[in-house]
Structure 1
């Protein structure tokens, strides 16, 4: 292990604890590449930090503590594998693996290892559910229990999902690498989709009592910042802008009692205006690149909402135009619904309703509670309260989130019997 110029440790445990929180997953990502095994890398990471806790208080913090930890984890794992040779059946392949480990160099660019780990966790051969769970667990370091709670599954079920994904990566010899230039665009789409799935589950939980899970949103944003730092592509910046802008408004989305507050009733003083400025700037830069994709256009829409001083000042013509552009490059019933709502806000509820009615005939939107809620809202604005009541009741029956159910019930009470 290389000897560095060292700094004294005044409070060794605090220094190591802070380093683990900030850089623990960087160390782990490097050890995954060096050891070629998720579980060994996790064990080696713990061993390395235990070694630091025993040595640094007396010796001081190394000049390059992250590299020290990676080197410590690797060499201690080599020692352990050598000891295993004396107690278990040892194959020629196992011997060659240890020899390769001894010859490998510790990484100079640790950030690249984190990018490799992200692409490995989001490999196309894994299911989307497994990719989300793997990314949050292995890259972000979230506890299995926290991820399971966010996605409304039992912790043992989620743990098994991660175990199966790791086995598939090992058995299929999935390479631990960033794909080459030809493959990168297709693989990057999967990575961004997985990150955004994690964010949207935090922003609007799929079920249960809590609509918003701020920790999950924050982890997805942290992952977005990391990917943009390592891979500065326009759509990466667009996704980061979108997540920052949506997160900036989350404090005003819920009442202290846990009730949903719609956009037109939110206290904009509770919005994080510094985050809005940052997100809007990221969106502007992504748009100026000339390579606008769906995340960038959604970020531009979010920026238009967030930068309006009052709801009445919202530029619905701009938003309708952005949704029209988004619909051209990513046609989907949900985007068509949002476009119809923007048209309704620009041209009146009758125009919007004429666009929504045929969409509700599609199987997907026919079971989508927000489509029926949007129809109900337009009917209410037109004074057609009986029809509005029917649509609100359908929306309430289809909603799976308790806060949304309570909001729709409140709307029903407002229009009366």
Structure 2
């Protein structure tokens, strides 16, 4: 007996592959999505009685293709549509060949992340077409009304159609920049799950899971791209700490205060293996270096065992590749651990990050460690005013209030979060 929930899970897992194949076959994202939805409706009607087919993925693609032919035949008017029906009827086997499926997934990833679309549209379309999330789920994850997200998706697909965005994998000199955009979208999804930009909860587990799944997919499809492996390693190492990052009531727990016995050793081992594979390639990139930094953190059984000198050196390499104020802020925290809070504060105070809440949070920690409590309170309040996440605001408020009692030591940072989560 096949339950409806099991059918839904199968379709969630196979959605991206099915749509990817059908976009190429049908030449339309909307038509591909409609066809897969038709296949889902038929599976719900059939599978509870007949059981799962030998190859659910192949069944979905074949059934969706047949439903698309039926729909085209019903709606066909004129020679062009009739010719399209004939072409689809003559394309029986190609749609379910494994190599074709993989090629089409890669094409769909690059289509979703085409530079003609803005970053918000890229993220929404990636989650819709490759992860199979519903419009409501995506809207909820990014805290926007469902109609707003629906309009964003319609506009994105319309832009792809109207601009004749090619459904292909870029080649030659175009590939590195386009791949960078793809990886950035996946990491943006992960970061929104790892430390939500707004709302009550710190973590959105579904987005973390989807980002890791997409990261694995890209590595499977492009195994020779070291930055793809670096991104997957980084996400795995960060995600390994998820269970220890919050209190039972959802409060934020800094890296230095986490119960490391709750870290996921399986994810750590996988992430560290990927880092070692990247090191052997000797083609360092930003994601690989961030992954290496987090591998050093994961090696430390206790906070005091952390090799901060190695982390500082890695941040130096990262800053050379990405000379951004945020990377410099992360390096400043590592510098404070090696040379003291005064050195760290001097490095922080030259940065132009006044609108970034973690800049003020880091300054507050360093000022507090130097005994400059009044300035630290002001910095905590400045940080609190610049984050929309309630868990982070509560944590910063508690830190400011705690200065009336005793001041704890420095917080240990993560690669992407100098406040140490």
Report the TM-score, using the length of structure 1 for normalisation: 0.91
Q: After TM superposition, give the deviation of residue 337 of structure 1 in Å.
A: 0.6
Structure 2 equivalent of residue 129 of structure 1: 120
Structure 1 equivalent of residue 399 of structure 2: 411
Mapped pair 1:32 → 2:3:
no
3-state SS of the aligned residue for 1:331?
coil
Give distance in 1, aligned partners of 2:113 and 2:338. Answer: 40
Mapped pair 1:283 → 2:275:
yes
Higher relative contact order (CA 8 A, sep 6+): 2
Structure 2 equivalent of residue 400 of structure 1: 388
Q: After TM superposition, give the deviation of residue 57 of structure 1 in Å.
A: 6.9
Structure 1 equivalent of residue 37 of structure 2: 46
Larger Rg: 1
Mapped pair 1:79 → 2:78:
no
Give distance in 1, aligned partners of 2:46 and 2:346. Answer: 72
Mapped pair 1:203 → 2:194:
yes
Structure 2 equivalent of residue 147 of structure 1: 138
Q: After TM superposition, give the deviation of residue 58 of structure 1 in Å.
A: 7.2
Q: 1:43–1:415: structure 2 CA closer, same or farther, 3 Å change rule?
A: same
Deviations, residues 83-125 of structure 1 (Å, cap 9, x unaligned)? 223xxxx233333333332333324122222221111111111
Q: After TM superposition, give the deviation of residue 46 of structure 1 in Å.
A: 2.6
Q: After TM superposition, give the deviation of residue 16 of structure 1 in Å.
A: 4.5
- Residue 373 (structure 2) aligned to one of 365, 377, 385: 385
3-state SS of the aligned residue for 1:416?
coil
Q: 1:158–1:53: structure 2 CA closer, same or farther, 3 Å change rule?
A: closer
Structure 2: 5+ residue stretches without partners: 406-421
Q: After TM superposition, give the deviation of residue 11 of structure 1 in Å.
A: 4.2
How many residues align? The count is 400
Give distance in 1, aligned partners of 2:324 and 2:6. Answer: 50
Q: After TM superposition, give the deviation of residue 54 of structure 1 in Å.
A: 5.2
3-state SS of the aligned residue for 2:388?
coil
Give distance in 1, aligned partners of 2:55 and 2:300. Answer: 47
Q: 1:413–1:226: structure 2 CA closer, same or farther, 3 Å change rule?
A: same
Deviations, residues 366-392 of structure 1 (Å, cap 9, x unaligned)? 111111111111111111212222222
Taking only aligned residues, the RMSD between alpha carbons, in angstroms, comes to: 2.0
Q: After TM superposition, give the deviation of residue 200 of structure 1 in Å.
A: 0.3
Give distance in 2, aligned partners of 1:145 and 1:312. Answer: 44
Q: 1:345–1:12: structure 2 CA closer, same or farther, 3 Å change rule?
A: closer
Instruction: Note if contact 2:315-2:331 (Cα within 8 Å) is conserved in structure 1.
Output: yes
Deviations, residues 15-70 of structure 1 (Å, cap 9, x unaligned)? 74553243233222211221111222122113234445556677775544423332
Structure 2 equivalent of residue 99 of structure 1: 86
3-state SS of the aligned residue for 1:366?
coil
3-state SS of the aligned residue for 2:385?
helix
Q: 1:39–1:375: structure 2 CA closer, same or farther, 3 Å change rule?
A: same
Structure 1 equivalent of residue 153 of structure 2: 162
Structure 1 equivalent of residue 205 of structure 2: 214
Mapped pair 1:237 → 2:225:
no
Give distance in 1, aligned partners of 2:365 and 2:60. Answer: 58
Q: 1:281–1:162: structure 2 CA closer, same or farther, 3 Å change rule?
A: same
Instruction: Note if contact 2:13-2:132 (Cα within 8 Å) is conserved in structure 1.
Output: no
> For residues 240-255 of structure 1, what are the structure 2 equivalents within 5 Å?
240-255=232-247
Instruction: Note if contact 2:124-2:138 (Cα within 8 Å) is conserved in structure 1.
Output: yes
3-state SS of the aligned residue for 1:153?
coil
Q: After TM superposition, give the deviation of residue 173 of structure 1 in Å.
A: 1.6
Structure 1 equivalent of residue 333 of structure 2: 341
Between 1:161-170 and 1:73-82, the stretch displaced more is 73-82
Deviations, residues 273-295 of structure 1 (Å, cap 9, x unaligned)? 11111111111211221111100
Give distance in 2, aligned partners of 1:392 and 1:214. Answer: 27
3-state SS of the aligned residue for 2:95?
coil
Structure 1 equivalent of residue 319 of structure 2: 327
